[in-house]
Structure 1
Amino acid sequence: MKKAVLVLLPLLLIGAVFAEDAGGAVKSMNMEITINSDLTVTQTLNIEVANTRTMKTSYIYIFLSDTPSNLQIIDENNTVLNYTSFVANNIYTIRLLDEIMPNSSKNYILKYNNEGIVQKFDNNYIFSYSFTSYYELEDFTIRLILPKGFGITLKEGNTVSPPTSRLFSDGQQVMIEWTEQVDYLETKTYLVFFERIALITYSIGLLFLTGLTCFMLGVTAAYFVLKRRRKDIVTMALTADEKKVVDYVLEKGSNVYQNDAGKALDFSKPKLSKIVHNLEDKNIIKLTPSGRKNTITINKEIL
């Protein structure tokens, strides 16, 4: 599973490594992921970088855990910028050559191709993507654009995870949007089941999508209900630690106390609490209070 990490750090954080005049801090960021008709992926990052220092910056460091192909960086004047890059500790590092004046900010667009986040299962497809943040983002927005002629798949349980903030269409393509707060070092995972649909039902689906709720979209005849290899698909959207919890509960075959899972997996209480609540948000497990303890149960509609 591919995971993108974008970091722009002040000189204070990287001064031990770089003694030059680097600076800038991310003020906001939005992401758009377009799945093309040939199922390749084009990714666009829109970022605003602020310079709060008393001197101008000469360049900015950008870090990606993906190794982007055909990377292009454009400023707010639509000028293609020069950059150099290298890989350190498996992180693709970009040194962007640009100046930001003191107490001001600039907007940048990063465009590149991303591989491995769309996979085919039988006659259908799964989008599975993880993003890790190295800074606080109050309103991080990620938009997924499906290819023309494709729609969200119906199946038991969730076909879009986490729950979408907005589901809409421009009359040609289905778009899925999430807006949420992302904390420092937090990883977000996004999962969408989608499939090719017939032309006549595709048109009907777009009409429903434009003006109706996600529930009505789900029940429209535009989509096919097909069996899935559920566990193989769903677990693709889980982190390594989330998989450990799920596998442990499945192995026990019944309700598991949260404290027992933490001891068996050697997870601290805060760490396990965050993991199980993420799994609950993804509708993978059900968390039920039992006295002073919580009981973890696998959602059998999903796995």
Structure 2
Amino acid sequence: MHSSHSAPPSDAIVSVRGVSKIYAGGFQALKHVNLDIRRGEIFALLGPNGAGKTTLISLICGMTNATEGTVIADGHNIVSDYRAARATIGLVPQELHTDSFETVWATVNFSRGLFGKAPNPTYIEKILKSLSLWDKKDNKIMTLSGGMKRRVLIAKALSHEPKILFLDEPSAGVDVELRHDMWRLVRELRDAGTTIILTTHYIEEAEDMADRIGVIRKGELILVEDKDVLMRKLGKKQLTLTLQQPMATLPAGLAAWPLEITNEGNALVYTFDTQKEDTGIAALLRALAEHGIDFKDLHSSESSLEEIFVSLVNDKSRDQKEAQS
């Protein structure tokens, strides 16, 4: 998959090919990243701090140049056709650089003009209203609260009607009300055809919002998958049986089952892959009955995306392979 010459699929709005980034001191922030983002999807890029999420976003937005590889945004090469490529992209950065003496209205309007779009007060009004900023339109930005400044950043990113919207850690330090408004807006934008790429370490956010998920680790994209497929492939289910009588050790006849005694001998936990379906449960219950083990209650649980993510990022065997290679 490291070939940087394969053509992007026709539904890709962003195409990253063979992209690496090495900083002056020799630190390699990205290693041979290939990624296609589909038109109209919400794509979540997950990874621990320092994994390369922000570097990858900066490259796609043309804010920094790749050491090698190419990035195409909506048909435009981000280096050779920077202005056209950048005009299709809206970016909501992590940092608040907004200590401006300008008013909210002027800033958002100016942002639109920067990308060569003709004035459209009706559209700006719509954005400000959807972000609960309309009653603050004449306020100077420096007088606003942190949450309101963040709303202004989102409005600025949307001012030129971008086809691609990047949200870099959108929920970091954001109050619940803004998070709520933001996700409602993101869904509306997606429904209207905007492609949304978000980085986050609030995994429930990705679980809730994303169509597809990419996991980046130490500068490498280790996995890109439809969210539902990922949950199914890597998810584990657990069945917990509360026993009538406590049990100190498992009968030898049950040794073949992945069973664990918990809760001071009062419960048995059976862990299985969601891939393999639930066929094992009936057989397990028969085996328990044959060994005279009675239970009074059972419930099942599934692993969350968070658990899947943690297991991917902390994959020890992958670290060992890297150390050996």
**TM-score between both structures, scaled by the size of structure 1:** 0.27
Higher relative contact order (CA 8 A, sep 6+): 2
Structure showing greater radius of gyration is 2
